[in-house]
A and B are shown apart, each in its own frame.
Chain A
């Protein structure tokens, strides 16, 4: 199994380690609910060293990425990011991605750990000789700070002259910055992105700097959180946080059998690119069939007794099976079970409050359709709370 540069740190913090996509990762430290609440009320620290970072560069790299992905990375301004997907010729989702434009002729594509090899290979093949594709995942660590105090915590490590620019970072922006850690300056790509629904940041650094940055962030968290929680967060709480925020997970909501239109991400597909892209023919045809074709992703809450889990059947009360739960858990913020379900779009519309039933251990348990995200997202708020305090 692979280990991130922070493996020993997790053991020292008493984390419970699990196998995740071939990586030995912390699933929890203090407990899923406590960690979840820490991110919702203060902030938390995440080791995301297992994620894939693929750099695509060269004068034609923008056009090459436009052809390789469903979105239009060439249209990004330098320093901005976009959510994207890579699909196969049939329009099936190979992975969901965040794409950053780092410089005029340089993009960073961030892929899921489980798909990194597939994504890197597909990018190389699709880009051909028109751009340079370098999979930097093995040399790169990614550490996220998410939550309302994240700006103040991470900001406290930035070199003085870059703090103003840091606090001005908007959601889905990224820039190369310098942090002062243990008296030494380290270079990091600092992105205001995340997977929790909170204001937060992701720092990409060379593996050699990961331990120092992790420790510095833990210390800065204790010093800058004003009595709110700040603690390391495992994959367990990462999953409950992202689900409450209505964000999809590859392998659960997203699969090769589904197109972006089947999971509510039609808006990410740019069918008007003049030169098309891999999968554009299939996706144009799929788009033309409208919303009541294929599958649809529906948010639910269980009102009866039990928790809807991945793979459980969903139906209208007494009706035939319409599909399966893709992710389900007890929502620590809401105090009741929530779930996303992959349902037959021909049975749509599923209207808010409409009764559904989940088959839990052989019994139909009452549920209802709810809006997604399950909680209001705060990640797009103009500035993080800490920014105001920092400036004073």
Chain B
């Protein structure tokens, strides 16, 4: 599986799509596949503060619950409302409709600590 080249990735299997000082984050197709059918996503409220590599929520499949780790620091400006009624969107379209949060970045230099697509694919190969 080849990950989208325009994104950055954490070793905990989250992706970031940066535009200016905003970023959208989600979980990778690899993570969604490992989890299996996603049935619940527990996300922080708008305004909540995220810290890079710290737990910000949880994602549950039928089988198990996994912590979500933020790939970047910032504050939440939007969360994907669609996931409340259709959490399976995370499996169906992890890089698109299945996004989790939109975040106002507090430190763009943190992006250097993330992997590019090739690096992430190597990690999950």
Contacts and interface: CB of A to CB of B under 8 A. Distances in A.
Contact of A28 (B36, B42, B58): B36
A33 B62 contact: yes
Interface string B64-82: 1100000000000000000
A16 to B, nearest CB: 8
A330 B36 contact: no
Interface stretch (A64-72, A224-232, A261-269, A303-311): A303-311
Contacts of B60: 306-307, 330
Interface string A19-33: 000000001100111
Nearest to A28: B36
A32 B37 contact: yes
Given A28-B36, A32-B36, A330-B39, A309 B62 contact: no
A32 B42 contact: no
Contact of A305 (B36, B37, B40, B63): B40
A146 to B, nearest CB: 18
Given A31-B36, A307-B40, A332 B63 contact: no
A307 B37 contact: no
A32 B62 contact: yes
A305 B42 contact: yes
A240 interface: yes
A236 B65 contact: no
A289 interface: no
Main secondary structure of the interface of A (DSSP, over half): mixed
Interface residues on B, range: 10 to 19
A250 to B, nearest CB: 19
Identify the interface centre among A33, A240, A332, A337: most chain B CB within 10 Å of its CB: A33
Interface in A4-38: 27-28, 31-33, 36
Interface string A332-344: 1000010000000
A330 B39 CA distance: 7
A306 B42 contact: yes
Contacts of A33: 37, 39, 62
Identify the interface centre among A32, A240, A306, A330: most chain B CB within 10 Å of its CB: A330
Interface string B34-64: 0011011010000000000000001011111
A193 B115 CA distance: 52
B63 A236 contact: yes
A329 interface: yes
A361 B42 contact: yes
Contact of B65 (A32, A305, A309): A309
Contacts of A31: 36-37
B65 A307 contact: yes
B59 to A, nearest CB: 11
Given A32-B61, A361-B42, 5 more contacts: A27-B63, A32-B63, A236-B36, A305-B42, A307-B39
Interface of A: 27-28, 31-33, 36, 236, 240, 305-307, 309, 329-330, 332, 337, 361
